[in-house]
């Protein structure tokens, strides 16, 4: 979810022969691993350098308390997680537990690959969670995953640049934001008011911030909201930022990481992104004087931030469901959650954990948590990745000035409606 988004050496369609090799290798493992009564294999997405060590340590602590169970952690880079799971599942060689993007969950549940957790979930257990974060992984009234990582988006702004341009407060509305960006441009220092992402994963999400503010929806009543007035207004708004020289030039060559880097270098005055940027700034640009503010609101006061959770799920074909559940129970204790979220810079999902002074007294995180009531999650619909791709393509065309705004959005909406059918 929140790692460097460019791929490092992903291989094209893994050939069947390699899959075979994998199966052979794993069956060997199965023979050699018989010393313990239960071995629970867990596939973990690597969010940062700290992820692997954290889970190894948690596994050790769990094994010490449950000597019959062995936990085997497999760490996979986030970018190749989907590919690994797809390949493992088609070969029947998947782990017992795995982290997955909650937005993929529907596809998995539809195929009956994931086991519902309801019979294990006691009211006490459920009460541990902040509700907002548990709901995205509930489908047909059943809980299919637990939120292992949670995050939301807010606007980081460079206080020094704003002060230089004579602005004291972060922009409350998009109209304010544009005025501020114009003042920043007037400084003539090649700094840009709006750091706008136009490339790779989540290009569409950057567009939704404005869409929500204008009162639009990604999908409404089973139809794409991309041809709505709100979407057209948003596209015009963003385009006016681009054409006015208020964003960094060449937005379509900047991925989210690239825009964040521009922010760290002080070349853009704002960037909309997740809490983990605070941590990066602390180590990479400790002198940057920044603040965190809500994403600007629309003319009618509309707001919205993007909420993201990753879920940890239990596979239907697991032979150690009971031991696996015990490990889940352990991972979601307040102590373990606090440790993990501090390492990764995620938002607390656990109500007790949120009271920990680390989260409660942190000025940056407070802004993020205050936005949660307005948080929207990726809609739970089949073909979400398709829709994201179509949306990104359409708005890239608009950013580049290669398509007339209304017709480009209408065309994309028609394509999305086709996918939604």
b/e sequence 67-81, b meaning 16+ C-beta within 10 Å: eebbbebeebbbbbb
Looking at 129, 254, 325, 368, which residue binds another protein (CB under 8 A)? 254
Burial class (CB in 10 A: 0-12, 13-18, 19+), 372: middle
Looking at 48, 72, 83, 417, which residue binds another protein (CB under 8 A)? 83
Q: Does 262 bind another protein (CB under 8 A)?
A: yes
Looking at 127, 351, 360, 400, which residue binds another protein (CB under 8 A)? 400
Q: Does 200 bind another protein (CB under 8 A)?
A: yes
**Phi–psi pair at 99, nearest 5 degrees:** -80, 135
Q: Is 349 helix (H, G, I), strand (E, B) or coil?
A: coil
Angle of helix 276-284 relative to helix 256-264, nearest 10 degrees? 40
CB atoms closer than 10 angstroms to residue 65: 9
Q: Is 75 helix (H, G, I), strand (E, B) or coil?
A: strand
CA distance linking residue 243 with residue 249, whole number of Å? 9
Q: Which of 155, 209, 246, 233 is nearest to 398 (CA)?
A: 233
Interacting residues of 208 by C-beta distance below 8 A, sequence separation 6+: 218, 304, 306, 376
Q: How far is the CB of 195 from another protein (least distance, A)?
A: 11
Looking at 236, 393, 411, 420, which residue binds another protein (CB under 8 A)? 393
Q: How far is the CB of 192 from another protein (least distance, A)?
A: 10
Q: How far is the CB of 10 from another protein (least distance, A)?
A: 7
Q: Does 261 bind another protein (CB under 8 A)?
A: yes
Q: Does 248 bind another protein (CB under 8 A)?
A: yes
Task: Please say which residue, 207 or 346, places its beta carbon nearer to another protein.
Answer: 207
Looking at 10, 27, 179, 189, which residue binds another protein (CB under 8 A)? 10
Q: Does 16 bind another protein (CB under 8 A)?
A: yes
Q: Does 417 bind another protein (CB under 8 A)?
A: no
Q: Does 66 bind another protein (CB under 8 A)?
A: no
What is the binding site for another protein (CB under 8 A)?
6-13, 15-17, 82-83, 86-87, 89-90, 107, 111, 113, 198-200, 248-254, 258, 261-262, 265, 267, 383, 385-386, 389, 392-394, 396-397, 399-400, 402
């Amino acid at each position: 979810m929140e790692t460097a988004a460019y791929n490092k050496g992903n291989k094209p369609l893994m050939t069947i022969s390699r899959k075979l090799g994998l199966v052979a290798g794993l069956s060997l493992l199965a023979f050699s691993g018989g010393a313990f009564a239960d071995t629970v294999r867990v596939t973990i997405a690597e969010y940062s350098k700290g992820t692997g060590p954290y889970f190894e340590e948690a596994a050790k602590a769990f094994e010490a308390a449950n000597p019959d169970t062995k936990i085997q952690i497999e760490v996979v880079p986030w970018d190749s997680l989907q590919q690994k799971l797809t390949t493992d599942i088609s070969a029947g060689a998947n782990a017992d537990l795995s982290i997955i993007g909650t937005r993929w969950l529907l596809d998995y549940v539809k195929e009956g690959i994931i086991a519902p957790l309801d019979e294990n979930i006691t009211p006490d257990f459920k009460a541990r969670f902040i509700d907002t974060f548990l709901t995205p992984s509930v489908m047909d009234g059943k809980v299919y995953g637990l939120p292992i990582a949670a995050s939301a988006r807010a606007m980081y702004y460079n206080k020094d640049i704003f002060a230089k341009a004579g602005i004291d407060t972060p922009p409350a509305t998009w109209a304010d934001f544009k005025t501020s960006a114009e003042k920043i441009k007037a400084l003539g220092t090649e700094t840009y008011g709006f750091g706008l992402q136009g490339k790779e994963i989540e290009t569409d999400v950057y567009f939704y911030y404005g869409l929500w503010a204008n009162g639009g929806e990604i999908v409404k009543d089973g139809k794409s909201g991309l041809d709505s007035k709100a979407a057209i207004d948003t596209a015009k708004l963003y385009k006016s930022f681009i054409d006015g020289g208020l964003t960094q030039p060449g937005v379509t060559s900047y991925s989210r990481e690239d825009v964040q880097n521009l922010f760290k270098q002080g070349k853009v005055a704002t960037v909309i992104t997740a809490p983990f940027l605070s941590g990066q700034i602390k180590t990479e640009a400790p002198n940057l004087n920044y603040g965190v503010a809500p994403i600007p609101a629309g003319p009618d006061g509309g707001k919205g931030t993007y909420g993201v959770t990753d879920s940890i799920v239990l596979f239907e074909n697991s032979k150690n469901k009971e031991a696996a559940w015990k490990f889940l129970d352990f991972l979601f204790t307040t102590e373990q959650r606090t440790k993990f979220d501090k390492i990764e810079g995620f938002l607390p999902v656990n109500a007790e954990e949120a009271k920990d002074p680390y989260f409660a007294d942190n000025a940056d995180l407070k802004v993020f948590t205050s936005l949660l009531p307005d948080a929207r999650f990726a809609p739970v619909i089949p073909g979400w990745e398709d829709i994201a791709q179509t949306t990104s393509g359409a708005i890239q065309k608009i950013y580049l000035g290669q398509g007339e705004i209304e017709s480009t959005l209408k065309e994309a909406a028609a394509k999305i409606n086709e996918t939604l059918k």
